[in-house]
Structures are given as C-alpha cells and as structure tokens.
Structure 1
Amino acid sequence: MATPQEIALAHQRRQRGIILTLVAMVLGLWRRIDQGRLTESWQADVGRSIVATTAQAQLETAALVPVYLRDLAAAQDIDLPGLEVVPEAFSGTASDGRPLESLMYQPVIALKRLLAEGVPMDEAMRRATAHMTMIAATQAADAGRAAVEAGMTANPRWVSYVRVVNLPACSRCIILAGRTYSYSTGFQRHPNCDCSMMPVTSDDVRVPSARGLFDEMSPAEQERRFGKAGAEAVRLGADMGQVVNARRGMATAAGGRKVTTEGTTVRGVAGRRLGDFARLPGERYRRSRVPRPMPEQILADAGGDREEAIRLLTRFGYLMTPTAT
C-alpha cells in the first residue's frame, strides 16, 4: 500500500494536471476575443465558454477529493466518517464567494483600463492574458483545497493538515512545505499557487520539507527561486523564513466574511436544505433567502468546534451522506 505521503503527492500531481489542461483551454478560448469588440465578443461566446471550462475544472479538482481522502484514511488506518464531499458544491463559484462569471470578467476590465491609459494593444493583451490564466488556475486549485477542507472537517481523527509542496514551486511556497496547521485554519495561498493539503492524525508526518525541497533543486534553480544572494545564504545555513518573507503576497481564502448564492435555488442541494424560497426578478427558479457561507467562512464561524463545523457544512450542502454503490 502507498504511504500517506505518496498518496498526497500523487493527488497533487493529478490536480496539477487538471489545472495545466484548464490553462491551455482557457488560452485557446481567450485568443478568440475580438480586440475591437471586447465586451460584445465576451458576452456572445468567449466569456460563457471560459466560465464553463473553469467551472468544469473546479468540479474535476473537487471530484478527486473523495477518493483521495478514502485512500488517505486507509493508509493511516482510520475509519471513514458517515459524510462525504459533494463535488458540485465547489464548482461555479469564485473562492471569494462571488459568481464565477463576475471574477472571470476582470481581465476584460483590466484590458480596457490599460488601453485607456495608452498601453499598446500587444502589451495590454499580454498582461490581460496572464491575468486570465492566473484567475482560472487559482480558482480550480481553490476548489480542490476547499473540498479537502470540508472532507477533513467531517473526520474527527484528522486534527490537522500538512502543506504539501511539489516542485516546481515558488520560494513563498517552498518555505512553508511540511508545515502543520489545525484542520480549521484557512489555507494560505497566493495567485497561481497549486500547493495542496494532507490531513493527518498527528504532527508526526513526513512530507517534503522546505530544506529537502531546496536541496533537490540545482544551484541555478535555487537562485531562480530565492535570488543569488538568498540562495547562497540558505546554502550557508540561513533560515529560509528569514530569507523570504513568508507572508508577502500571500492571501487566505478564509479572510473576510464570504457567502455565495450558488446552489441556493430550489434545484440545488443547499437550496433544498435551507428553504425560505423567493423568486427574484429575472431568475428562472426560486432561490433561498438564507445566506450560504463559503466553506472557509463556516470553519471560521465554528471557532474550532468540529461538531458545529460538520453541522454547518452539512446544512449548507458541502457534506452529505454518501449513496450506496
């Protein structure tokens, strides 16, 4: 049987494969935008296709999680809980709680602003393209991580998680490799971060550490990631956390109160559980008037009370009893 560490690294590689495919597809769709009719071409086809493709990647990264957690529990010789992640609950919504289509439109807004400032079209498109691929990749990874958070919370044997970093990675992620956090601690990430989480039963775990990853890299790669002077300082024994500001540029999807309307219609899992429906102008289906928190918000609201977190994750449609197969 594979070790927990091998299972976690394999899971991360599968997630990375989904993200790389997503980026390639989004690039192809983005190139179809009419540079003379940005909003019109976005609304006609390009935007709808990009949003749908990103939502599908979110679904695929979240769908990896039930199998990942089952394999991990078996390798750690612990029982599975009576609840399982609902992959669909993590698709179609941005990790800050807004509708995914709203977030994906931001590169178009940025492109228009750059052109209004006099930036040449080629350069403006280059920046907007980088922005678009960053958003898509980050949202797919966030969906997978949020699903792991929900599934981990459902199993009381998992008291914490380890940050799993696989090369290639940036210096900000490398210095956090192997660190352990409480199960209810929000996952810190920066845009384009594809680090993952390995739920654990104790702090006695072995995954690639910051120093281990540093030693795996060639001197040239070390200098690319940490800078020439920084890499040399680490090779001389300096603490990587002092060489690199671990928090610069990092963000946590759990920061601020986050709610979403996704899945709250009469057809959605959360909507059916929440009730209190009303038909809003312009919408086809009635929607629950009860705010639906994001998974990260639920963990924050629970304040470390695992039973309360499970209750809320179940109530809001992120966990459910698995169907028999």
Structure 2
Amino acid sequence: MPGVLATAHALSRVRLALAAARAAQGAWRGVDRDSLSASWSVALGPVIAAVAGAQLAAAQGTEPWLLRLLGRDPGQAESDRLDPFSLAGITGDGTPLAHALQVPIRTTLRLVGQGMPIAHAMARGQALLNLMVRTAVADAGRAADQVAMVARPAVTSYIRVVEAGACSRCIVLAGREYGTSSGFARHPRCHCGMEPVTAEHKPEAQDPKKVYDSMSEKQRKAAFGEAAVKAIDEGADIGMVVNARRGMTTAVAFGRTVQATTESTTKRGIARKATRSKGPRLMPEEIFRQTDDREHQVRLLRRYGYLL
C-alpha cells in the first residue's frame, strides 16, 4: 500500500483542484446569458488567478513532501530545486490558461448556435470548465512531482498511487512501477499520484484487486459498471475486464505534436514570455519523452526553467 505521506500528498492536491473548480463555477454562474463572451471575459481574470494559485500551491507541496519522505539526496546539486512557479498558469500541454479557459464559453456559444436551449448549453460549458480546471491543477502537481524526482539521483522509479474512488482504468494500474521519466498515463480529471522508489524507500505496491475489495458496492458500480462488477465478483480477472488504456494518455493535448509553451511564470505574475531560451518552451513530459538520458533531462529542465 502507498505510504501515509504519499496518500496525504495526493489528497492535498485533490482538495486544491476542487477548491479551484468551485471558484471557477462560482464565476461561471455569474455569467450574463445575454452577453456570454463579454461577461466571461470580465470573470476570467479572477478564475485564472484562482486556478494558477491552486497549481502553484500543488507544485509548492512537492519539495517539502519529498524532503520529509526521503530526506536530502546527497547526489543532488543544490541548484537543482524545483521552481513551482514554472508550472502555474498553463495547462498540462503548455496552453496558457487565458487561452484554454475560453474553450467552455466557446463551446456554450457553439451549442446555442446549434439550437440547444441556453440553460442546457451553459450546463455543458460548466461541466467542461470543471473538468479543465481540475485537470490543470492535478497535472501541475504531478509534473512538479516528476520533475523533482528526476532531479534526485537516488530516485530510480515511481509507483502509481490510486485511491478507492478512482475509475476502473486507474485501478487496474494501481501499484505499477515506472521509470522516473515515464509519462504518467491519466485521463481528464484523474487524481492519481505517484510515490518515489529509492534503494532505501521501497513502498509496497498496491494490488488492483485489493483496491477493488476496499470499495463499497456503490463505488464499484460507479467505477466499473454493473456488468463488470458481476464478472469480477464471479472470478474474472480485473485486468482482463478493464481496458486500462482506453481514454488514457500521457499528454492532455489539443492537437499538439510537441508539448511546448511560449509562456513562463515568475513571482511577479502568472505568465510572461519565456526568457531562458529562444523558441517554444518544452513541457517536462515532452523533455522526458525526447530523451531517456537523465543528465540531459536535468540539463533541459534547468534550461527551460523548471529547476532553479
């Protein structure tokens, strides 16, 4: 089973995501239905601040968590510390929040234009906003965890941490071990986390069937569906019942072939043009995808501002 600290770390990120989603939904409910675009543009600034603030808080929790869990890594350079500001104000694929959070209102306008009643269209837009906000916060936290793990030479891999309320696709991946730079398979609004593995810290891997057994009947049916629950209860292999890869990705992207952003963050503001390098700023996951050489990964993480 994952350690208490890893579980608490993941749950803290879930709470941050929920708080940001509530703030965004409050702003959405105040949108003027007679002036959708204009009123959302006015509301968007505080929403971006709330989401970026939650992303920053999620990323800021990484270094204290790893220090408490693993102690100091003697092989890590003092300069190779995570910069949490580098992961706030953008989505997991590098899109600035100011652009990404226009999608719900554009979706609403499109649905209204297609003849959907405005109340229904607004509800669809709100659901999309909720999904995007919670995903953005979770992705920032997971990216922070992975960047900080790669910067610690003692960390050799990570184990996927899954809670009982997770979906079926995540539950069948519970306890799997991956290299530190392996992309984290997730779906929108996924709240799974990771726990590092070192020579001294070897967390017990979760067993998907034990996670399933710990769930209530209601949770099982919500996650797996009634037919799958019946099959599993009758002895079917949980991994055979669930297609773990369906709907899962290591990049929540919007048609991008390379995960990059032209935005960076500083303590003075949410987002500004990157200054450490010319051209697009690669996202951490793209760095890990492009090279499996750890020293080169660390150099690129420094170059693009993820490590101080």
Displacement of 1:291 after TM fit? 2.4
1:127 to 2:130 alignment: no
Q: What is the match of residue 46 of structure 1?
A: 43
Q: What is the match of residue 81 of structure 1?
A: 76
Q: What is the match of residue 104 of structure 1?
A: 101
The percentage of counterpart residues that share the same residue type is 39
Does the 8 Å contact 1:254/1:300 carry over to 2? no
Deviations along 1:211-236, one digit per CA (max 9) or x if unpaired, are 11101012332222212221122123
Does the 8 Å contact 1:153/1:183 carry over to 2? yes
- Provide the rounded CA distance (Å) in 2 between the counterparts of 1:225 and 1:92: 31
The alignment partner of 1:162 has SS state of strand
1:291 to 2:280 alignment: yes
Aligned AA (2:216): S
1:25 aligns with one of 18, 23, 26: 23
Does the 8 Å contact 1:158/1:201 carry over to 2? yes
Deviations along 1:62-112, one digit per CA (max 9) or x if unpaired, are 1111111111213xx854722211110000112111211111110011101
Q: What is the match of residue 258 of structure 1?
A: 259
Displacement of 1:149 after TM fit? 1.0
Does the 8 Å contact 1:55/1:92 carry over to 2? yes
- Provide the rounded CA distance (Å) in 1 between the counterparts of 2:141 and 2:58: 5
Moved more, 115-124 or 128-137: 115-124
Deviations along 1:276-296, one digit per CA (max 9) or x if unpaired, are xxxxxxxxxxxxx33211111
Q: Gaps (5+ residues) in structure 2?
A: none
Deviations along 1:202-259, one digit per CA (max 9) or x if unpaired, are 6953143211110101233222221222112212332222111111111212873111
Does the 8 Å contact 2:160/2:193 carry over to 1? yes
TM-score, normalised to structure 2, is 0.90
- Provide the rounded CA distance (Å) in 1 between the counterparts of 2:16 and 2:184: 20
- Provide the rounded CA distance (Å) in 2 between the counterparts of 1:114 and 1:37: 15
The alignment partner of 1:263 has SS state of strand
Aligned AA (1:313): L
Deviations along 1:288-308, one digit per CA (max 9) or x if unpaired, are x33211111111122x10000
Aligned AA (1:231): V
Moved more, 202-211 or 100-109: 202-211
- Provide the rounded CA distance (Å) in 2 between the counterparts of 1:173 and 1:89: 27
The alignment partner of 1:273 has SS state of coil
The alignment partner of 2:125 has SS state of helix
Q: What is the match of residue 221 of structure 1?
A: 219
Does the 8 Å contact 1:162/1:199 carry over to 2? yes
The alignment partner of 2:196 has SS state of strand
Aligned AA (1:101): A
Moved more, 205-214 or 247-256: 247-256
Deviations along 1:33-70, one digit per CA (max 9) or x if unpaired, are 11111111122x21112112111111111111111111
2:176 aligns with one of 164, 175, 179: 179
Query: In angstroms, what is the RMSD of aligned CA positions?
Result: 2.3
2:54 aligns with one of 57, 73, 78: 57
1:136 to 2:133 alignment: yes
Q: What is the match of residue 318 of structure 1?
A: 306
Does the 8 Å contact 1:7/1:68 carry over to 2? yes
Q: What is the match of residue 7 of structure 2?
A: 9
Does the 8 Å contact 1:99/1:262 carry over to 2? yes
The alignment partner of 1:95 has SS state of coil
Between Structure 1 and Structure 2, how many residues are aligned?
299
Does the 8 Å contact 2:84/2:144 carry over to 1? yes
- Provide the rounded CA distance (Å) in 2 between the counterparts of 1:151 and 1:20: 24
2:167 aligns with one of 139, 145, 170: 170
The alignment partner of 1:42 has SS state of helix
Q: Gaps (5+ residues) in structure 1?
A: 275-288, 321-325
Aligned AA (1:17): R
- Provide the rounded CA distance (Å) in 2 between the counterparts of 1:144 and 1:220: 29
The alignment partner of 1:208 has SS state of coil
TM-score, normalised to structure 1, is 0.86
1:230 to 2:225 alignment: no
Does the 8 Å contact 1:23/1:137 carry over to 2? yes
- Provide the rounded CA distance (Å) in 2 between the counterparts of 1:318 and 1:81: 15
- Provide the rounded CA distance (Å) in 2 between the counterparts of 1:181 and 1:27: 35
Does the 8 Å contact 1:114/1:124 carry over to 2? yes
Larger relative contact order (C-alpha < 8 A, sep ≥ 6)?
A: 2
The alignment partner of 1:188 has SS state of coil
Displacement of 1:315 after TM fit? 1.4
